[in-house]
Structure 1
Amino acid sequence: MNYLINLTLTQMGFWITWALIPIVVEIIPSLISALHLMRQSRHLRQLEAPAKLPFISVIVPVYNSEETLFACLQSINDSTYPNRNMQIVLADNQSTDDSFGAYARAQNHFDLNLQLMRTAQGKAKALNGAIYQCIGTYIINIDSDGVLEKNALMNMVLHFENDIDLAALTGTILTQRHQIKQTPKRWLRFLQKTEYFEYAQAFLSGRTIESNKNELFTMSGAFSAFRKSTLVDTFMYNTDTVGEDTDMTFQVRQRLKQKVMLCADAIFYIEPLESLEQLYKQRQRWMRGELEVSKEYMQHNATLGNFFNNFLVRRMMIDHTFVFPKMIWMFASVVLLFFRYSPVVLGLSYVVIYLLYVFVSLVNYVSVGRLLQKFPDEQKFYHSIRWVVWSLPLYNFFVSWIRLVGVINSMSLPGVWNTATFTTEARSAKHVVGQDARYLRQKKGSEWNH
């Protein structure tokens, strides 16, 4: 009996030790942040409108945007910010479709100050070229495949006008709920709803907390804004990285020592995921951008001793280093069964960790719901998919594996962006595993013959 008790305690002790990593590093900080956010949401600051609204410039990088550009420009036209106070610069970086036709139609339909310019290919180059054409006090970038919430531009400008120390802002990114509802495939609609929930929690919970500490990691490339006086002091967008938006964030905060924040009530709607392939490539690209920018800005302080006083070190540890324990948990479970570890104890340890992540998602769900009070239609849709709190931990676990693949591809293919799809790499992995299995069978067979 004593033997069984000691064995159980030993096994539980082993897994409790492993469980402490996500509990201490992720779950407890997330709970503290979520509770702080809930308290903060009760005391939202009221912004004062200036006597005279400033003139702003809106940059729209265009690349093969024939199908989405008109709707994007219509959202600018329908904005509550006066058209007479806006300059819209379309930076076409070598489109091969009829994006110009969409621009021409918009010119005929809307009373907007529109101008089109040709730039070299690449989003960073398009933005850099357009910046020199901007004459507004504030420069706002939006992607051509999304649409603005009608108050988004006004809310961004008001945040700038009410805080003279604010140098740059990023908006809240959500996927277009009406497109999600129209998706015919059930599994894809499930993925899109999970993505919507992920974006809502990432921006209105995670990035809000980062913003309050002036530790925002990335201004979204889809929707961000700057004081022009700040932007011209930077080195412009970095054309040598896929994470030009992250690089710009660090330029403003690290090099210029200025404040970068999230504008939670400025929403930009993007198109939902079209496939698992798109998610696979998108998250690898984000991971590669993170690694490239982090390498540039943490060369001299990338030590474990800076974990608590340098948010970038913490971010790299949580996003990258702690991916490996997750991998160990998964494969070690199978191995430990052969060492007579109780499958019940192993299973319960995973259930406990999963339920803790669900609890974090639930607390974040409540706090994000409060921040969406200004947007009743959005809040209603968000509440209608509250069941995602149960699937989000599994989704995040799956995405963490994609990020790990992104880390490996970044190391094995330096300087080359990986364009392989999930299907292609899965077939390649299956082929390699099949070759290894055949080799082992052949080797085993030759040993038996001898």
Structure 2
Amino acid sequence: MNYWLDLTFLKMGFWITWALIPVIVEIFPAFLSGIWLLIHNWQPIKVITPDKLPLISLIVPIYNSETTLFKCIRSIANSSYPKELIQIILADNQSTDNSFAVYDQAQTEFPELNIQLIHTEKGKAKALNAAVYSSIGTYVINIDSDGTLEKKALMNMVLQFENNPQIAALTGVILPEPRMIKAKHSWGLSLLQRNEFFEYAQAFLAGRSIESRHNQLFTMSGAFSAFRRSYLLDTFLYNTETIGEDTDMTFQIRDRLKDQVVICTKAIFFIEPIENLNNLYRQRQRWQRGEIEVVQQYNQKLKINHFFSNFLVRRMLIDHTFLFPKMIWLFASFILVFLGYSWRLLLLSYLLIYFLYVLVSFLNFVCVHLLLRDFPAERKFFSSIWWVGLSLPFYNFICSWIRFIGILNSMTQKSSWNAPSFNKEVKSVKQVFKQDRQLFKRKLRKKGKK
């Protein structure tokens, strides 16, 4: 009897208490959010098309975009939005390739499009700011030059603005291009890209929909976002001092101007799938650094006792603070075996947490499947990769490690758009270990001589 009491209250009780942290902080809120999404999106929202559609300005910042720019412009030409109501501004921030030749070709191939090219200072934020002053549309929409618009994306975005005058800015849905994912790859890259698609679909269609309900959208996507021009001109425009200019703009509109920023779930922008683990490593570190840089500018309101009243406090604690104990406890769990804990008990705890994360993934799968009802091709592809919900917890765990490293690097390295690659950092770590080993050997020799 004493044995079972000891096992339950001392050993299992201690470990289960720790295991409850991700359940309380991440899994349980995700379940509630998923149920809310299902209830509020079961029936499609009716949208009224105005008698007269407005003029829009479409800004495309380009930098050495020779290989992708034409495909991007072609997607604009194929858009369902009236061509005569689209002003296209290509903001070239000092390209060194043949991007201008692509612009010239596009003018010939798509004479119905109103395309102009402006030259700006180097940097995406500077390119966007210069283009904003050249825009004349009621709405200003930014898209990246290395992606393509879904045919109805512009129309759906404008209609959401027109049906809700309170909205100041919108972010679109970013999805990796399914046709490129279905191309023949190694099994490792194929798995990585399918996990990325599942993650993007879940993050935008489920995650950002939840954030939008109380005007708590953390960041608009820099790849596809839109503004009422009059509201955009009330901001300080894009911050040129951070690599998280899209997050900074979101904070400006929501926190400084007290206006509404939400997602348009019916506006999809396709990007190229991640090419390898190195690119994922650099991308997520850049995102992490940009997030930290922007939050530092708004930290006067961040207090721990505001956990329940301030969504930003909750976001930072979950995304940053809880990363440290997660990483530490991973190693500590191995040590617990030597302290008398049963490895079976530890394994069972990890399996339980994994099972709960899988349940959350499949709940989000149902929500995303529902929100993709207007996009049969994308919905079919998403349905075909339902099994990714089983591997997604491992993918997210890898991304957590990258974010953790990004936090550490942000403390020791200067801000840069191009974060160090995974291979480069592995070499650096090996070099440090090599130097430390040599130093240790030299000290041993000196002691031996004494």
Could you tell me the TM-score, scaled by structure 1's length?
Answer: 0.96
Summarize deviations over 1:37-69 as a string: whole Å, max 9, x none. Answer: 011111331110001000110000011111111
What SS does the aligned partner of 2:264 have? strand
Summarize deviations over 1:276-307 as a string: whole Å, max 9, x none. Answer: 111001000000111011111122x2211011
Please say if residues 11 and 345 of structure 1, whose CA atoms lie closer than 8 Å, have aligned partners that are also in contact: no
What SS does the aligned partner of 1:61 have? strand
Cα 1:418–1:35, aligned 2, differ >3 Å: closer, same or farther? same
CA separation in 1, counterparts of 2:184 and 2:225?
A: 28
Which consecutive unaligned segments of at least 5 residues does structure 2 have? none
Matched, 1:153 2:154: yes
CA separation in 1, counterparts of 2:441 and 2:355?
A: 41
Superposition deviation, residue 415 in structure 1: 4.2
Alignment-mate amino acid for residue 107 of structure 1: Q
In the TM superposition, 1:187-206 aligns within 5 A as 187-206=188-207
CA separation in 2, counterparts of 1:51 and 1:124?
A: 35
Partner of 1:266: 267
Partner of 1:246: 247
Superposition deviation, residue 449 in structure 1: 9.9
What SS does the aligned partner of 2:182 have? helix
Partner of 1:10: 10
In the TM superposition, 1:36-435 aligns within 5 A as 36-110=36-110, 111-299=112-300, 301-415=301-415, 419-435=419-435
CA separation in 2, counterparts of 1:223 and 1:183?
A: 28
What SS does the aligned partner of 2:175 have? strand
Summarize deviations over 1:71-129 as a string: whole Å, max 9, x none. Answer: 10111011000001110000000111101111111101111000000000100000000
What SS does the aligned partner of 1:204 have? helix
Superposition deviation, residue 189 in structure 1: 1.3
CA separation in 2, counterparts of 1:448 and 1:338?
A: 34
Please say if residues 409 and 418 of structure 1, whose CA atoms lie closer than 8 Å, have aligned partners that are also in contact: no
Bigger CA drift: 180-189 or 427-436? Answer: 427-436
Cα 1:415–1:176, aligned 2, differ >3 Å: closer, same or farther? closer
CA separation in 2, counterparts of 1:440 and 1:339?
A: 30
Alignment-mate amino acid for residue 258 of structure 2: K
Cα 1:440–1:350, aligned 2, differ >3 Å: closer, same or farther? farther
Alignment-mate amino acid for residue 392 of structure 2: L
Cα 1:158–1:385, aligned 2, differ >3 Å: closer, same or farther? same
Superposition deviation, residue 442 in structure 1: 7.5
Could you tell me the TM-score, scaled by structure 2's length?
Answer: 0.96
Alignment-mate amino acid for residue 187 of structure 1: G
Cα 1:8–1:439, aligned 2, differ >3 Å: closer, same or farther? farther
Summarize deviations over 1:378-421 as a string: whole Å, max 9, x none. Answer: 00000101111011111101100100111011111244566311
Bigger CA drift: 182-191 or 70-79? Answer: 182-191
Please say if residues 298 and 312 of structure 1, whose CA atoms lie closer than 8 Å, have aligned partners that are also in contact: no
Cα 1:416–1:71, aligned 2, differ >3 Å: closer, same or farther? closer
Superposition deviation, residue 213 in structure 1: 1.3
CA separation in 2, counterparts of 1:421 and 1:6?
A: 48
CA separation in 1, counterparts of 2:127 and 2:231?
A: 19
* Equivalent residues, number: 449
Please say if residues 369 and 383 of structure 2, whose CA atoms lie closer than 8 Å, have aligned partners that are also in contact: yes
What SS does the aligned partner of 2:42 have? helix
What SS does the aligned partner of 1:170 have? strand
CA separation in 1, counterparts of 2:44 and 2:343?
A: 49
Superposition deviation, residue 433 in structure 1: 3.5
CA separation in 2, counterparts of 1:181 and 1:347?
A: 35
Cα 1:268–1:239, aligned 2, differ >3 Å: closer, same or farther? same
Summarize deviations over 1:230-249 as a string: whole Å, max 9, x none. Answer: 01110010000000000000
Which consecutive unaligned segments of at least 5 residues does structure 1 have? none
CA separation in 1, counterparts of 2:10 and 2:42?
A: 46
Percentage of matched positions with identical amino acids: 58
Partner of 1:32: 32
Summarize deviations over 1:153-194 as a string: whole Å, max 9, x none. Answer: 000000000011110000000000111111422211110111
Superposition deviation, residue 267 in structure 1: 0.2
CA separation in 2, counterparts of 1:277 and 1:354?
A: 26
Please say if residues 41 and 370 of structure 1, whose CA atoms lie closer than 8 Å, have aligned partners that are also in contact: yes
Superposition deviation, residue 4 in structure 1: 5.4
Please say if residues 243 and 415 of structure 2, whose CA atoms lie closer than 8 Å, have aligned partners that are also in contact: no
CA separation in 2, counterparts of 1:390 and 1:436?
A: 40
What SS does the aligned partner of 1:131 have? helix
Cα 1:437–1:387, aligned 2, differ >3 Å: closer, same or farther? farther
